[in-house]
């Protein structure tokens, strides 16, 4: 009996050892998985931090570019406004120059017209005078022939 008790005891101890060895393997495999998951989590966190930094950098770069574009736009708008003023001034000056030239030419033509009218009046008066003289001379020539 003692022998069967020893055998049974050995059998129980063997089974217990096997079960504990199996549990240790499961624990070791579970521990390895946990370590791998933890390492992967650490790696993913690092990548996430790098991406966050990259996003911040890109946002900052984008804000700088927008700021530069706004400044450039403001500069272009000022330049456009200055060019429009310059264009308006130039057009005004050209119109004034043309208008002045036209007014001067018009005044000159009026003076010439008045001069020509005066000359025409003088010539008409001279023509009348000449016609009168011609008439008087023709009448004088006709009278003396009648008198004899």
3-state helix, strand, coil in the chain (%, to 5): 100, 0, 0
- Residues 73 and 62: their CA atoms lie apart, in Å, by 16
- Looking at residue 23, the DSSP 8-state letter turns out to be H
- Residues 59 and 136: their CA atoms lie apart, in Å, by 112
- Residues 131 and 137: their CA atoms lie apart, in Å, by 10
Closest alpha carbon to 47 in 55, 31, 34: 55
Q: What is the pLDDT along the chain (148 residues), one digit of tens a residue?
A: 667 777 776 777 777 666 665 555 556 678 888 888 999 999 999 999 999 999 999 999 999 999 999 999 999 999 999 999 999 999 888 888 888 888 888 999 999 999 999 999 999 999 999 888 888 888 887 655 555 4
User: Model-level pTM greater than 0.75?
Assistant: no
């Amino acid at each position: 009996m003692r022998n069967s008790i020893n055998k049974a005891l050995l059998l129980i101890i063997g089974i217990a050892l096997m079960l504990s060895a199996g549990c240790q393997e499961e624990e070791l495999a579970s521990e390895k998985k946990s370590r791998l998951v933890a390492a992967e989590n650490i790696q993913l966190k690092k990548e996430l931090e790098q991406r966050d930094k990259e996003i911040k950098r890109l946002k900052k770069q984008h804000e700088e570019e927008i700021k530069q574009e706004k400044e450039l736009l403001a500069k272009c708008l000022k330049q456009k406004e200055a060019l429009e003023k310059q264009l308006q001034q130039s057009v005004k000056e050209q119109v004034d120059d043309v208008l002045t030239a036209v007014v001067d030419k018009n005044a000159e033509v009026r003076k010439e017209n008045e001069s020509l009218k005066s000359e025409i009046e003088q010539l008409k008066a001279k023509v009348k005078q000449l016609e009168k003289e011609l008439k008087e001379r023709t009448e004088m020539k006709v009278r003396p022939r009648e008198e004899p």
